[in-house]
Amino acid sequence: MNAHVVVGVIPGQPAAVVETAADIAARYDADLVCASVDIARYTVAQSLDGTIIASSIDPELMDERPETFDPLLEESIGRTLADRGISYSVRALAGNPAVELAALAEEVDAVMIVVGTREAGLRGSLREFFSGSVAVHLAHHQHRPVVVVPLDPKPHGTQLPWAGAD
């Protein structure tokens, strides 16, 4: 049975997150499990094959259906991993990203979880406001190592995007 590395992926995310996770998976001779979590839905049930049945958090949109992985994101991951020679799969999840990534890591007995830092700008700030830092939640609420890939590192002394102006 192969080891697994779980990596959180989102559309538009820099390839560095998947590349770093792939490097780690190669070092552990592990399979890479690329998981995308829809924060606008929640899990209702899970099939034996791992398929998630989810519903919208909007009570007016009671639309239970299987969660599907974004085909453009899957294509992008495939291009990134094309010449790396590692086995990978994709999983579509729904709910709180930290909770869902931790549950998936538990399910596959992952050696670690890899996530990227939050995006700079309004979209990233809104996502973090509503869901909090996925990396921080993972680091405090589950037992596996968490690797955080810096996506837009700032030199020391530079004001960080979430810091208020003086």
In tens digits, what is the pLDDT along the chain, a chain of 166 residues? 689 999 999 999 999 999 999 999 999 999 999 999 998 887 888 887 778 777 777 777 777 777 889 999 999 999 999 999 999 999 999 989 999 999 999 999 999 999 988 655 545 544 554 445 787 778 878 889 999 998 776 677 777 655 665 5
pLDDT of residue 125: 47
pLDDT of residue 154: 66
pLDDT of residue 45: 82
pLDDT of residue 132: 56
pLDDT of residue 147: 92
Sheet arrangement for strand 65-66: 41-46, 52-56, 65-66
- How far apart are the C-alpha atoms of 163 and 20, rounded to whole Å? 27
- How far apart are the C-alpha atoms of 53 and 93, rounded to whole Å? 9
- Domains of the chain plus CATH, in order, are 3-149 (3.40.50.620)
Tokens of 40: 């606008």
